[in-house]
Structure 1
């Protein structure tokens, strides 16, 4: 490996160690294998970090998507649809896209790429990040329609649901499920295949760590947005009465962050060097 040559010094025996013959202090000298494994982890880090923003987008399914749904029409006759139950469409989307990906998309992609899996793990993750941008854009458009309807019916000052069917949210849940199939599965495959042989379990766990960090990032963004938009006695983007707020702005913000994250990912993926096969 020609990258990170400065790390090679960790495997060089110093004069002091050569005289004493004591090589037991791992903080002073490492094996060549340990140095090369560290290089692999460093190269994987930018790819891993871009998954945090995606996880922040994914966190909206159980938070602001539900809040948005509570301000929409949830009744079909006498039956009321719990807003949180629409997350089942994410599951339906995953069930739909897994066989479609394996049976339809992969054979078509294989003809163009010549790869057995159709797409590489990095390409699969990139597609998922792009779909996540579409997901947040769909959520923002639904919120724009909902707020326009609230204004037309003079419901802006009333904390009540507008007569817009909650099933308008289905596309954003469906897109999020598609992004999940591409990104999360691609992450697991990438970290398992590219991690050092002795660290595959740990690296697979690191891919799951992005989920928890994404939730923290989502909370941080929400806190900052609330602080900045409520100054000067303004209701802010996400007040208790969403009819007076601009939840669509928040969704557009996440769409923009997801797009920037995707650009960073593309650069990192192009610069990434695959691990040599044993």
Structure 2
């Protein structure tokens, strides 16, 4: 478990160090518009998380999760090397300019071979990240004996600390590495990320002799297994009663999976519009200037405090009070996260109203100067969404692992990341739909242009709040009808 957690921290450091600040890199160095940068970031992160399904499938069907991790880490390493070289070499980037200011010359957006190099690096990273996230959670959970009560409790602890170490890597990413990117150059940020992935190799390999590695089944699906073995269709469709029950289990957990996508769409805002909001505000804390991309430090620190308290105080207390092994069920944790996402979007809308009012009152709507309002107001939405992520991600990972058939556990835990992927894609689609619907009658689209102060971002956040509320009601409908599998039958 220790090796998996260290590797997780290093990988998440490498991924989030760049993802959390990528919108700044794309607008500042590659000269994307704010809306295009937001869509590019959400598409990149969505692809990375969606590729976890591929990593999970390959782990279950053909290779062990151990091998998939090693292959994926090499791919991510190569992508980071490409991005480091491009960030360091001026001839591989468009000419420098200022997006806002007195200059009337438009900035030249990256194109041609330079754009191809940028996206090649980004999507190699996405492929590597997907493979790691699709294999590592199941690999760690497989090390525990689920036939004993203590083994199941230890596995639950693993998933809690999985989120803790995700946050540890993220903490270094959004503070130290983001500071390097903003003050020393992006080549430093990409370089540190490259080294972090490289350091994870020897640590992971050190415990290889003691790992439990599940034997791949050939395919987690009976129908796919028959097709891959080139059986006639009537033989491929001939399945056992146990295999039919496995399919029923998969169908039963899908509505829960669908219920978490809207939360992931809300989380996408932390990497896009929330960063751009903070960039227009006063980011000073005393004598220290905080990079906008470091805002996630607030929910990250909160998660790192609450996760151990949850595992060592809240869960034991709940077990004692309720007389159950789990104390708090996975679906209850997920439900708390969904409620927090509704509150987060309401807070985000109110903060944006306040930010724009300050811009209007001070006559700085069209100015590039920071608004006289502290960026800590934006930190509130980060805190709510970070808390939602804590409850939902750990609950989802454990829920999918314990409820899925043993032949599909890597693929099932990958659904947690697939939810994030679809949420990021949905965020991009929503931005496009909102702009299309609101463009007309002599009005600008809500989320278009180069100046965030002219956006109708508060209206977009209220829309997200309404959709999140509907989504929570959808979750309540399905979760109230869900029946957990008996612990001894999950293997």
Show the 5 A alignment for 1:33-72: 33-72=242-281
* Residue 118 (1) aligns with residue 327 (2): yes
Q: Which has the higher contact order (CA 8 A, sep 6+)?
A: 1
Structure 1 residue aligned with 2:462: 252
Alignment-derived partner of residue 209 in structure 1: 418
Corresponding position: 1:198 with 2:420: no
- After TM superposition, the structure 1 = structure 2 runs for residues 220-259 of structure 1, keeping only pairs within 5 Å, are 220-239=429-448, 240-259=450-469
1:73-92 maps to which residues of 2 (within 5 A)?
A: 73-76=282-285, 79-92=288-301
Secondary structure of the residue aligned to 1:237 is coil
User: What stretches of structure 2 of length at least 5 have no aligned partner?
Assistant: 1-221, 223-230
User: 1:205–1:26: structure 2 CA closer, same or farther, 3 Å change rule?
Assistant: farther
Contact 1:159-1:243 within 8 A present in 2 as well? no
Shift of 1:27: 3.7
Partner of 2:477: 267
Q: Distance in 1 between matches of 2:321 and 2:363?
A: 54
- TM-score of the pair, normalised by structure 2: 0.49
Counterpart residue number, 1:187: 396
Q: Deviations along 1:66-92, whole A, 9 cap, x unmatched? A: 011112112346643211111222321
Q: Give the one of 320, 340, 356 matched to 1:147.
A: 356
Residues 128 and 182 in structure 1, CA contact (< 8 A), matched pair in contact too: yes
| TM-score, scaled relative to structure 1 | 0.85
Q: 1:144 to 1:191 in 2, by over 3 A?
A: same
Q: Tell me, yes or no, if structure 1 residue 134 matches structure 2 residue 343.
A: yes
Moved more, 250-259 or 224-233: 224-233
CA distance in 1, matches of 2:390, 2:333: 9
Mapped to 2, the partners of 1:172 and 1:117 lie a distance apart of: 30
Q: Contact 1:126–1:262 at 8 Å: present in 2 too?
A: yes
Between 71-80 and 180-189, the greater mean CA deviation after superposition: 71-80
Q: 1:104 & 1:30 partners in 2: Cα distance? A: 45
| Pairwise CA distance, 1:112 | 4.6
The superposition leaves residues 166-216 of structure 1 with CA deviations (integer Å, 9 ceiling, x where unpaired) of 112222212222111100000001001111122112211222211111111
Q: Offset of 1:35 from its aligned partner?
A: 0.9
1:126·1:183 contact (CA, 8 Å) conserved in 2? yes
Please state how far the C-alpha of 1:159 moved relative to its aligned partner: 5.1
Q: Residue 374 of structure 2 corresponds to which residue in structure 1?
A: 165
C-alpha distance in 2 between matches for 1:243 and 1:223: 19
Partner Cα separation in structure 1 for residue 412 and residue 424 of structure 2: 20
Give yes or no for contact 1:71–1:160 (8 Å, CA) kept in 2.
yes
SS class of match (1:144): helix
Match of 2:427 in 1: 218
| Distance of aligned partners of 1:192 and 1:164 in 2 relative to their CA distance in 1, 3 Å threshold | same
Tell which deviates more after alignment, 33-42 or 226-235.
226-235
CA shift, 1:157, in A, is 4.0
